[in-house]
Amino acid sequence: MVTAAHSTELQLEDGTLHLAVDLLDRFLSAVPAVACSAGQALGATCLWLASKYEEVVPCTMDDLRWLTGGAFSTQQLRGTEQAVLLLLRWRLALPTAWSFHSQMLADTGAGGRRELGCEVCTCM
C-alpha cells in the first residue's frame, strides 16, 4: 500500500495513506477472518476510499485496477467498497496519527518533518 500510494502514477498525499491504513485496520478489527485472495482488493479499496476523501483529484477505477494488476473486476472492487463502507457505517473521518502530526507541525511552526525531528531530539 505504501509503495502504491507514493508511486509516480498515483502520487497520493501522506494523509491519504494514513487514512487508508486506518480504514483497513478498522475493517480487519471487525471481521474475524478475511481470505488471502481478498486482501489485495481490500487494501486497494481502502486506498481508493481514502483518496476519495482526502485528495483533490482522487484515484480512478482504472488506477485501482492497475494497482491490483487487473486481478479484480470493477464489480468486485465496488462490492468490496460497499462492504467496507457498510461495516464502518460510512464513518471515514476519524483522526489518524497523520492528523495529529500535521496539527503539531502547524502549532509548532515547524516547516517540515526533519525540522520537527531535530526539535524532538534536542528536547530529549
Boundaries of every domain in the chain: 2-93, 94-124
> What is the per-residue pLDDT for 8?
61
CA distance 41 to 35: 10
The model's confidence at residue 38, banded by pLDDT at 50, 70 and 90, is: confident
pTM for the model stands at 0.73
Q: Tens of pLDDT along 45-83?
A: 999 999 998 888 898 899 888 888 899 999 999 999 999
Query: Could you tell me which residues come within 8 angstroms of residue 98 by beta carbon, excluding any fewer than 6 positions away?
Result: 14, 15, 17, 18, 19
Closest CA to 63 of 9, 103, 13: 9
- Give the dihedral sign, CA 22/26/32/35: negative
Q: Tens of pLDDT along 90-104?
A: 988 777 676 666 667
How far is the first Cα of the chain from the last one, in angstroms, to the nearest whole number?
A: 33
Residue found by looking up cell 468486485 in the block: 76
CATH of domain 2-93: 1.10.472.10
Q: What is the CA radius of gyration of the chain?
A: 16
The model's confidence at residue 84, banded by pLDDT at 50, 70 and 90, is: very high
Q: Which amino acid is at 3?
A: T
In this structure, are residues 59 and 48 in contact, taking their beta carbons and an 8 Å threshold?
Answer: yes
